[in-house]
Every structure is written in structure tokens, then in C-alpha cells.
Amino acid sequence: MKRRSNGFALIEMIITLTLLGVLAAMVAPYFLTGITTGADPLKNMPTPLGVQSIMASIIADYGSNSTAQYQHDLSALNSRIVNGNYGLSSAYTITKNPNYKFDPSDTDVALLVTIKNNATNESATYIFTKQL
């Protein structure tokens, strides 16, 4: 007698489902951690972007063609930072160090600016150099 098989046997189905269950149990922890903690960086994003956007405004003023004077006169940039409105509030502390020098014999060649968010202690620092 010749028998023709039209499908899977019950034992084949059981073995296949068991193997798939074992593989799913091994892979599931990796996917679940990614799903539950995948949004954590997004929660922290607004604070660094706030500090970075303020620093980007100062850098844009320094580098723009209409205010190229700041590239040649760092004291003017320093006073602009003091008097300018870059979105700074009491939540931020801005520190300027006009005495920051690459070469101790040169004067007024670099301005070190640090902006710090007082609530999160995140900061951004940039060194502006005098263009000759």
C-alpha cells in the first residue's frame, strides 16, 4: 500500500511549536527592554537642547557676516553676551572667562564661555577666538 502524506504529522507540529516557544522565550527579554526603555533618551532631550540652543545663538552672532566685528573684538562679544538676550533666565548661569589664553604672552585672544542649567547641572562650553 502506498500512502501519500498531505500535511504535517502531529508530532512534527508539536516539535515545531516547542522550538518556536523556546526561541521566543530567549529573544523576548531583548525586545521588551528596548520597548520599555527606548523612550528614556527622549525624556532628557529638552534640557540639553535648551543649553545648546542658547550657545548656538551666541555662536551664530559670533560667526554671522553682519556682526563680523565680534570675530575681531572679543570684548564686544563679551559685552553682547552680558547685555544680549539669548533666552537666558534665572534657570541658567553663564560664565565668561576673558583671561583664558592659549599663549600667556597674548592678551584678548580667546573668550571661554560656559552656559549651565542650574536645575540639571548640564552645561555647554565654547571657546571663541580672535580672528586676525
Cα–Cα distance for residue pair 128/132, rounded to 1 Å: 13
Q: For residue range 23-45, what is the model confidence (pLDDT) as tens digits?
A: 999 988 877 777 677 666 666 66
Q: Which three cell numbers stand for residue 47?
A: 534640557
Q: For residue range 47-103, what is the model confidence (pLDDT) as tens digits?
A: 556 788 888 888 887 877 565 677 777 777 777 777 766 767 777 777 777 666 655
| Domains in the chain: boundaries | 10-42, 44-129
Q: For residue range 46-58, what is the model confidence (pLDDT) as tens digits?
A: 555 678 888 888 8
Torsion of CA 65, 71, 77, 81, to 10 degrees: 60
Q: What is the pTM of this model?
A: 0.54
Cα–Cα distance for residue pair 73/110, rounded to 1 Å: 10
